[in-house]
Structure 1
Amino acid sequence: MVDTFQAPLWCANAHLQTLLPTFLNRQFRLPLQHQTLTTPDHDFLDLIWTERPQADFNKPIVIIFHGLEGSINSPYAQGMMSALKKAGWIGLLMHFRGCSGRPNLRARSYHSGETADARFLINWLQQQYPAHPLMAIGYSLGGNMLLNLLAEPQASGLIAAVSVSAPLRLDLCSARLQQGFSRVYQHHLLSRMKKNLNNKVSTGALAEFPVPNTAQLTTFHAFDETITAPLHGFASAAEYYQKCSAFDKLTDINTPCLLIHSKDDPFMTPEVIPRPDQVSALVELAISKKGGHVGFVQGNIQRPTFWLEQTIPTWLSQFSKSTI
């Protein structure tokens, strides 16, 4: 059982919770190791390790799946990599295609239901480092993707997983981000998505895909209808949302999983958050009233602390201890 997050009075606002980790500009002096993994379709995945595994040790490896347009530079990713290192584990961040700072080679990119690259990585890790238990943490889009993977019929290859602020119903989240201040988040993320798309167009990887003037794509729905859906084999944004939302698959999860959400998440609506009877017996819910989107900041204004970086390693430790 995870103690519910309690927001301090000075940071009770959902937008402050969401934005503060970015503005704090914490300094991480963590030596990181880079690796590029070639995928079966001759594309690549850029990986970031806190340290490379050694054959004579069996430290757990914890994979981080970042959010939409995230990377190793995302504050939550750096914070968690540091927390995993402190816990004595190996952190491994997998950049989704096109998110590491260079365009990927194939036309396809990544999306909320694209589990093939994650499963390829997990299978590769099992083959290369069979003595190392594998766990995973997914944030936002990466959290929804991870839950989709956990709900698939084949074994996940993970001993435990955590999903944070996942957009479990993509249609509702897309609509929510067109309302009020949340449109600021939509504009920011769309700007990055369109910039990366235009960079990829310049490489020729999308030569056979009709890319429109990206200035016309002013909402997530428009981007998903025009780019995400047809590029990845969906008839429409509606079909993409329906097939790739993890909400209705939560009862199929057979890996121990912690699902973290805040009710004031400005990317969500209350209908996105599942009840205990809507998840499998192996899914533990940690639902708080406050916390924003991937925020969960505590402490005081002079010295804030980060609940996720304390809570997630503690929760995962119950599974890692049983394997080593």
Structure 2
Amino acid sequence: MPIITSAYHPPHFFKNGHFATIYAGKLRKVNGVKQQRKQLVTNDNDFIDLDWSFTEEKTNKLVIIFHGLEGNAQRPYVTGSAKIFNKNGYDAVCVNYRSCSGTPNKLFRSYHSGDSDEVEFIVQHILNNYTYSEIVLKGFSLGGNLTLKYLGQHQIPSAIKAAIAVSAPVDLYGSMLEIHKRKNFIYALRFKKSLLAKLKEKQQLFPDKITDQTIKKIITLKDFDDIYTSQAHGFKNALDYYDKSSAMHTLENIKIPTLILNAKNDSFLSERCFPIEAAKNNTHLHLEIPEYGGHVGFYDTQNVYYNEKRALQFATEVTK
């Protein structure tokens, strides 16, 4: 599809990518979303917590929302998305990845950017146990890459009608290089702090696999992926993990209407995270590159963000 001309024009301060990113992540509040948690037992005897919210009347429509790195289903960008879909006739299920719901998961493994099998498991659980016939997927950042990889790698059920990926690092290696730059020092430090805290929790369960010496070797996020992420999830090393988990390799296979919304001033994204050629060559793939938005920013009026309005608009248009 031709590249979409974006209509997003934020207020002056929110044209700064870092301000937009930090404001949306740390200062925004979303009220009025009542979530009910249901625990899903996995095939390997672990668990995934799903947080549901519902529209006022019975519906056959559902949005499944996937959060970003070290996020959860209570982050404002998740609840903001659930809220606008709930108000417009959709139930919403917000996925907490393994170890992200406030309770450590049981196994040595956790979650990662390319685990499309986990998405398939969740989707099949919903199809087998509920009566939704019109399902939309929405993923943010890591969850955006995860959503796109699922769409390009698996047989997609007919009930899934559309997907939206926001601030999606479809080139994980390039995104890793960006986040290690000085401009992203604060974000990288925050991610590392959260990941190391969880790794120390996991050390209590698996002291033979994680030692104090191992943890001391982790200086960068790439070190974390070399030492834990890749080893816990069957990859050779971090570079193998980045390559095999990047959605950019599977975009050509996507067969349902899909919107990628990546801001030009997103400091986490490399040049290859804007898959212009893939969008031009795939009639199902729509790529929108606003000048502004930061990383999962997209501030807009009345506390309803542009990515939320845009996702609902896109889903409505393609499911008519």
TM > 0.5? yes
What is the 5 A alignment of 1:7-46? 7-46=10-49
* Cα shift at 1:319: 3.8
* Cα shift at 1:304: 5.5
Distance in 1 of aligned mates of 2:91 and 2:133: 9
Distance in 2 of aligned mates of 1:83 and 1:9: 25
- List alignment gaps of at least 5 residues for structure 1: none
Distance in 1 of aligned mates of 2:99 and 2:73: 13
Q: Greater CA deviation, 147-156 or 20-29?
A: 20-29
For 1:105, the equivalent position in structure 2 comes to: 106
* Cα shift at 1:124: 1.1
Distance in 1 of aligned mates of 2:303 and 2:51: 26
TM-score, reference length from structure 2: 0.92
Structure holding more helix per residue? 2
Distance in 2 of aligned mates of 1:216 and 1:156: 43
2:170 aligned to which of 168, 171, 188:
168
Distance in 2 of aligned mates of 1:257 and 1:298: 22
* Cα shift at 1:67: 0.4
Q: 1:154 to 1:179 in 2, by over 3 A?
A: same
For 1:209, the equivalent position in structure 2 comes to: 209
* Cα shift at 1:216: 3.1
* Cα shift at 1:2: 6.8
1:159 aligns to what SS in structure 2?
Answer: strand
For 2:282, the equivalent position in structure 1 comes to: 280
For 1:309, the equivalent position in structure 2 comes to: 308
Q: 1:277 to 1:218 in 2, by over 3 A?
A: same
For 1:177, the equivalent position in structure 2 comes to: 179
Tell me which amino acid in the other structure corresponds to 2:54.
Answer: E
1:228 aligns to what SS in structure 2?
Answer: helix
2:153 aligns to what SS in structure 1?
Answer: coil
Q: 1:214 to 1:4 in 2, by over 3 A?
A: farther
Distance in 2 of aligned mates of 1:141 and 1:23: 18
What is the 5 A alignment of 1:172-321? 172-202=174-204, 204=205, 206-211=206-211, 212-278=213-279, 280-299=282-301, 305-320=304-319
Distance in 1 of aligned mates of 2:223 and 2:18: 25
Whether 1:132 aligns to 2:113 is no
Distance in 2 of aligned mates of 1:94 and 1:304: 22
Residues 149 and 156 in structure 1, CA contact (< 8 A), matched pair in contact too = no
- List alignment gaps of at least 5 residues for structure 2: none
* Cα shift at 1:251: 0.8
* Cα shift at 1:24: 2.7
* Cα shift at 1:128: 1.3
* Cα shift at 1:132: 3.2
Distance in 2 of aligned mates of 1:106 and 1:96: 13
Residues 187 and 218 in structure 1, CA contact (< 8 A), matched pair in contact too = no
Q: 1:189 to 1:81 in 2, by over 3 A?
A: same
Identity %: 29
